[in-house]
Amino acid sequence: MNYLNYIKLEFPSNSSNEALARSVAGAFAAQMDPTLEELGDIKTAVSEAVTNCVVHAYPDSIGKILLRCRILEGGRLEILVRDWGRGIEDVAKARTPLFTTGGEERSGMGFTIMESFMDKLTVRSRPGEGTTVVLSRTLPKRKRVR
């Protein structure tokens, strides 16, 4: 697929990088002239995806996380979050609202929020090999008022 612009960022799964990742994704999306609401939705979805890597992919260690943001033709923003961690046994179950293996610190709403804030969510995972989450959303073109 043709892309108009992209960034790739790799970072360790320290929880302090959750804020960094969503800020970077927000700063990249800003060139598409999103509304504040759209920007908030994008940052929230990225925060959920990266938190999943920190909490679930690498529960007892620090591992590598890749964030790739692309602008596709037609005003489509695509965000990929990948880890090489534990993986998910049953993706359909993991996507169920309120389901969590994270105990009472987690709400089990991460995938639900990603789904409701973005147009499309794809999750590919293999136990022991890692997980790839792809989020995308089309941002309508706006006329600039001068």
Partner 1 sequence: MRVYSEYSQGVLYLRLEGELDHHTAAETLRSIEQLIDRYLPRKCALDLSSLTFMDSSGVALFLRAQRRMRYSLGQLWLIDPSEQSGRVLKASGIERLIQIHYTESRKMR
Catalytic residues: 48, 52, 106
Q: How far is CA 37 from CA 41, 63, 73, in A?
A: 6, 32, 22
Which of 5, 31, 96, 116: binder of partner 1 (CB under 8 A)?
116
Question: What is the distance between the alpha carbons of residues 103 and 87, in angstroms, rounded to a whole number?
Answer: 18
Nearest-approach distance from CB 4 to partner 1, in angstroms: 27
Nearest-approach distance from CB 51 to partner 1, in angstroms: 4
Count CB neighbours of 85 within 10 A. Answer: 23
Q: Return the half-sphere exposure (C-beta side, CA atoms, 13 A cut-off) of residue 110.
A: 24
Does residue 99 belong to the site contacting partner 1 (CB under 8 A)?
A: no
Overall residue count recorded for the chain in this entry: 146
Q: How far is CA 12 from CA 72, 126, 129, in A?
A: 27, 20, 17
Please, which residue, 100 or 125, has the CB nearer to partner 1? 100
Q: Which of 71, 70, 65, 69 is nearest to 131 (CA)?
A: 65
Does residue 60 belong to the site contacting partner 1 (CB under 8 A)?
A: no
Does residue 47 belong to the site contacting partner 1 (CB under 8 A)?
A: yes
- Interface segment toward partner 1; rule CB under 8 A; list 77-85, 111-119, 120-128, 135-143: 111-119
Nearest-approach distance from CB 1 to partner 1, in angstroms: 28
Instruction: Give me the residues that bind partner 1 (CB under 8 A), please.
Output: 15-16, 18-19, 22, 36-37, 40-41, 43-44, 47-48, 51, 54-55, 97, 104-107, 109-110, 112-113, 116-117
